[in-house]
C-alpha cells in the first residue's frame, strides 16, 4: 500500500517592504531666506529714497532762505500760511453777523475787532496784511466793515457801496464770483462767515450808475492786495 501524498504547504508570506528610515536632514529654508532678503532690500531702497528726498527738500529750503529770504523760493500761497493750514485741518466755526456787527470791523478798533470786509454775503478776515490798504486812510477803506459787492464791478464808490446786485449782467455777476474766489484763495485773507442782510425790497429802485464809475479789473488781474 502506497504512502499518502504529502499535505500541501502554504506559501511563505511575502516579505514587507522595508520601512524607510526617517530623514535626519532639516527642510530646506532657501525660499524663506530669499524672501527675507528681498524684503530687506526693498526696505533699504525705500529708506534710501526717503533719506535723499528729505535731504533734497532741506537743501532746497536752505538755499531758498539764503537767496530769497523765504523758505519756498518767494512763493506766497494760501498753503504757506499757517492759519490757512490750521483752518483746513481744523475748520473753525463760521460766524453769522448782522450788518451793524460787521460795521464794527472797519479797522478803527483793530485790537477789539479784526478787520473784516464782505462780498455778496461772505465775510473775510483781512487783518493779516490788509490794514495798510483797507484800514482808516487806506485807498480801499470804503470796503472795510461792509458788503459793497456792487461797487466791485461798477466802480461807483459813492452810491454803490451795497450788496444789492439787482440789474447786473451775467458777466458782472461772474466778476463778483471771481472776486470772492480771489479773497478765499488769498495767501493771507480768510473766509470767516456770513453777514445776514435784511431782504431787499423789490419795490426799491435799482442803484443808478454813476458817471465817474470805473469797473474794477477781474479778480485774476486785481491790484487790490
Write the pLDDT tens digit of every residue in 64-85: 767 665 656 666 665 667 777 7
pLDDT score of 158: 86
Has residue 1 got a pLDDT over 60?
no
DSSP states along 118-138: EETTEEEE-HHHHHHHHSTTS
Has residue 215 got a pLDDT over 60?
no
Higher pLDDT, 31 or 21: 31
| DSSP three-state, residue 84 | helix
Residue ranges of E strands in 4-131: 95-97, 116-119, 122-125
Q: Give me 114's grid cell.
A: 479784526
The pairs formed by 199-206 with CB atoms below 8 angstroms and a separation of 24 or more are: 200/164, 200/166, 206/164, 206/166, 206/167
Q: Which residue has the cell 456792487?
A: 150
Q: What is the DSSP letter of 95?
A: E
Has residue 173 got a pLDDT over 60?
yes
Has residue 201 got a pLDDT over 60?
yes
Give dist(CA 225, CA 186) in Å, integer: 9
Has residue 220 got a pLDDT over 50?
no
% of the chain beyond a pLDDT of 90: 46
Q: Give me 15's grid cell.
A: 516579505
Burial profile 42-71: b = 16 or more Cβ within 10 angstroms, e = fewer: eeeeeeeeeeeeeeeeeeeeeebeeeeeee
Residue ranges of E strands in 58-170: 95-97, 116-119, 122-125
Domain chopping of the chain, boundaries: 39-75, 78-221
Has residue 133 got a pLDDT over 80?
yes
pLDDT score of 167: 93
Q: How many CB atoms lie within 10 A of CB 202?
A: 6
| DSSP three-state, residue 160 | coil
Give 78-221's CATH code, choosing from 3.40.109.10, 2.120.10.10, 3.40.50.300, 3.10.120.10. 3.10.120.10
% of the chain beyond a pLDDT of 70: 71
Higher pLDDT, 170 or 20: 170
Q: Report pTM.
A: 0.63
Q: How much is the average pLDDT of 30-45?
A: 72
Question: Dmax over Cα atoms in the chain, in whole Å?
Answer: 161
Has residue 221 got a pLDDT over 50?
no
pLDDT score of 85: 78
Of 183, 188, 194, the closest CA to residue 122 belongs to 194
pLDDT score of 82: 74
Bridge-based pairing of strands 116-119 and 122-125 is: antiparallel
Has residue 98 got a pLDDT over 70?
yes
| DSSP three-state, residue 97 | strand
Most confident of 5-14, 63-72, 214-223: 63-72
Amino acid at each position: 500500500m502506497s504512502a499518502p501524498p504529502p499535505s500541501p504547504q502554504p506559501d511563505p508570506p511575502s516579505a514587507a517592504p522595508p520601512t524607510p528610515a526617517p530623514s535626519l536632514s532639516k527642510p530646506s529654508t532657501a525660499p524663506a531666506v530669499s524672501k527675507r532678503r528681498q524684503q530687506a532690500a526693498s526696505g533699504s531702497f525705500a529708506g534710501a529714497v526717503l533719506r535723499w528726498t528729505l535731504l533734497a527738500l532741506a537743501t532746497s529750503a536752505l538755499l531758498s532762505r539764503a537767496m530769497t529770504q523765504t523758505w519756498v523760493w518767494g512763493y506766497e500761497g494760501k498753503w504757506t500760511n499757517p492759519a490757512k493750514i490750521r483752518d483746513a485741518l481744523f475748520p473753525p466755526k463760521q460766524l453769522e453777523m448782522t450788518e451793524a456787527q460787521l460795521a464794527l470791523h472797519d479797522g478803527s478798533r483793530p485790537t477789539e475787532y479784526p478787520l473784516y470786509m464782505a462780498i455778496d454775503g461772505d465775510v473775510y478776515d483781512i487783518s493779516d496784511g490788509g490794514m495798510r490798504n483797507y484800514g482808516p486812510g487806506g485807498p480801499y477803506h470804503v470796503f472795510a466793515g461792509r458788503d459793497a459787492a456792487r461797487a466791485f464791478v461798477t466802480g461807483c464808490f459813492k452810491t454803490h457801496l451795497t450788496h444789492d446786485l439787482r440789474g447786473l449782467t451775467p458777466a458782472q455777476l461772474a466778476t463778483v464770483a471771481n472776486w470772492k474766489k480771489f479773497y478765499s484763495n488769498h495767501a493771507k485773507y480768510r473766509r470767516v462767515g456770513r453777514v445776514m442782510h435784511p431782504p431787499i425790497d423789490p419795490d426799491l429802485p435799482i442803484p443808478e450808475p454813476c458817471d465817474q464809475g470805473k469797473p474794477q479789473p477781474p479778480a485774476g488781474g486785481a491790484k487790490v492786495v
